Amino acid sequence: MGYLALLRTRPAYRRLWAAELVSATGDWFSMVAVSIVAARSAPEAGGLALATVLAAHLLPQALLAPVAGWLADRFDRRALLVFGNLAEGVLTAGMTLAAAGGSLVTLQALLFLRSSMASLREPALGAAMPSLVGRGELATANALGAATWSLTFVVGMGLGGVATEIGAPAALAIDAVTFFVASALFRGLPSLAPPRTDAQPAGGRVLQTAIADLRVALVATKRRDLRAAVFGKTPPAVAGGAAWIALNLGAEALPFAGGAAATLGALQAIRGVGTGVGPLVSRGLVARGYAPALVAHACALAAFVGAIGIACVGGPSSAIGSVLLWGAGGGALWVITQTEIQQRSDEAMRGRLLALDALGFTLGMSGSALLTGLLVDSGIALGTVGALVVTASALSWFFVRAQGRAARTTGTGRSAVHVPAIPSRE
């Protein structure tokens, strides 16, 4: 089934897609705005300042991944999406006021809180997807999601750069409005409550139960083919953390598209084009008979080569080519691993596995960015740091995926993983 046919025949999915289209576009406005404000507030420690921006975006999602997965597997996912976007809109409005008042500390604190609320989004969206489309449509829906992410990235980063040149508060105000619009769209979805059972009583506090759930998810990943899917995004995320720092520092040092904000927005928009093209190319290769494992490795190689190029090679033309490769490889891998998780897990476990997937991604990228920022600010050449980080992450990727392939070859993998019953909310 094609993208248009999926949108036409699945109205609930179409509404979810439209809400994410609006919300995600606004996200990139604030990413450019906060990055530029942070870099200019501490030019003598630009690497670490930029790393804290990425950490404020990602670390709360990592820290709250156990709770997010717990919530996504126990509460109506529609309610989580409605409330989460509404709260993010209110917090972004506060960020607008903080930027207008010149308070970086308040801006970062509100961003941290907003990212905490955003941790609900990915597990809820991913767990709800199989309820809105058929099993055979999951790959198409995920590919459309990646293409949409690419579109919002291109538009949001490009326009966000322009808006930030006008003023960071303007970019943040636009982002706040998109959250309120998305919340209204999510309200029109049908109930997306997960299966419930009273076979196992709910005991203890939410955090304790959530951590216990995360342990169950970790136990499930002892199955190597599932582990390869759940942690498939982590090594590219580690490479991406170093590339993100290099991209921001390069835009500040060599603003070839006007100001630094416009240059950063343009380069990120080009990366967004890659994230849309990558999934289309990878799906086309599989359709032509190429082995999915070989295609996944090729996509990973593109992402790693792009990340090294950003960190090690200077000049506008190399930067453009590198971000395009980085985006194409990363976008394709997102679709591949997301579809694998959805197809290999049952509905009762899906939210927790997707939360574990998000935990690996966010810890990998934010931790890598912080390490890269610290090393660069200490005087080590960016190219040296980038080459080491990306090489280590590439080796990790091939090790994890090789294990998953071995499991499928020997027949130890199954189509879904079954887990203990989920406790009741009462």
List the domain boundaries for the chain: 3-192+204-410
Q: Which helix (H) or strand (E) holds 381?
A: none
**Count of other CB atoms within 10 angstroms of residue 222:** 9
> Phi first, then psi: what are they for 417, rounded to 5°?
-105, 130
Coil, strand or helix at 164: helix
Residue 373 near residue 48 (C-beta atoms within 8 A): yes
Q: Quick one: pLDDT at residue 419?
A: 38
Residue 336 near residue 282 (C-beta atoms within 8 A): yes
Computed over every residue of the chain, the mean pLDDT equals 80
Residue 49 near residue 38 (C-beta atoms within 8 A): yes
Dig out the tokens for 364 from the structure.
Answer: 């990998």
Coil, strand or helix at 323: helix
Judge whether residue 64 has pLDDT over 80: no
Judge whether residue 169 has pLDDT over 60: yes
Residue 362 near residue 59 (C-beta atoms within 8 A): yes
> Phi first, then psi: what are they for 345, rounded to 5°?
-120, 155
Strand-pair partners of 94? none
What is the rounded distance in angstroms from the CA atom of residue 76 to the CA atom of residue 323? 38
- Tokens 């890659």 locate to 274
What is the rounded distance in angstroms from the CA atom of residue 190 to the CA atom of residue 217? 27
- Kindly report the pTM of this predicted structure: 0.67
C-alpha of 114 from chain center: 15
Which residues, at least 6 apart from 228, have a Cβ–Cβ distance to it below 8 Å?
340, 400, 401, 403, 404, 405, 407
Judge whether residue 422 has pLDDT over 50: no
Dig out the tokens for 10 from the structure.
Answer: 């699945």
- Tokens 């993100």 locate to 244
CATH superfamily assigned to domain 3-192+204-410:
MFS general substrate transporter like domains (1.20.1250.20)
Nearest CA to 385 among 244, 254, 242?
242
Burial label, 127 (beta-carbon count in 10 A; 0-12, 13-18, 19+): buried
- Tokens 């049952």 locate to 346
Instruction: Grade residue 319 by pLDDT with cuts at 50, 70 and 90.
Output: confident
What is the rounded distance in angstroms from the CA atom of residue 170 to the CA atom of residue 270? 23
Residue 6 near residue 133 (C-beta atoms within 8 A): yes
**Most distant CA atoms of the chain, gap in Å:** 62
pLDDT in tens, 75-126: 888 899 999 999 999 999 999 999 888 888 888 889 889 988 887 887 788 7
Judge whether residue 414 has pLDDT over 50: no
Mean pLDDT computed over 15-37: 86
Dig out the tokens for 28 from the structure.
Answer: 């990139």
Nearest CA to 78 among 3, 151, 132?
132
Q: Quick one: pLDDT at residue 197?
A: 45
Coil, strand or helix at 299: helix
What is the rounded distance in angstroms from the CA atom of residue 293 to the CA atom of residue 298? 9
- Higher confidence at residue 344 or residue 239? 239
Q: With pLDDT > 90 as the criterion, what percentage of the chain qualifies?
A: 18
- Which of 22-31, 34-43, 53-62, 164-173 has the least mean pLDDT? 34-43
Residue 169 near residue 107 (C-beta atoms within 8 A): no
Instruction: Grade residue 257 by pLDDT with cuts at 50, 70 and 90.
Output: low
DSSP one-letter code for 194: P
Dig out the tokens for 69 from the structure.
Answer: 């997965």
Burial string for 86-97 (b: 16+ CB within 10 Å, else e) reads bbbbebbbbbbe
The string of DSSP letters for 72-127 reads: HTTS-HHHHHHHHHHHHHHHHHHHHHHHHHT-HHHHHHHHHHHHHHHTTHHHHHHH
CA distances from 287 to 165, 275, 329 (A): 44, 19, 18
- Which of 136-145, 191-200, 301-310, 331-340 has the least mean pLDDT? 191-200
Nearest CA to 355 among 189, 186, 222, 213?
213
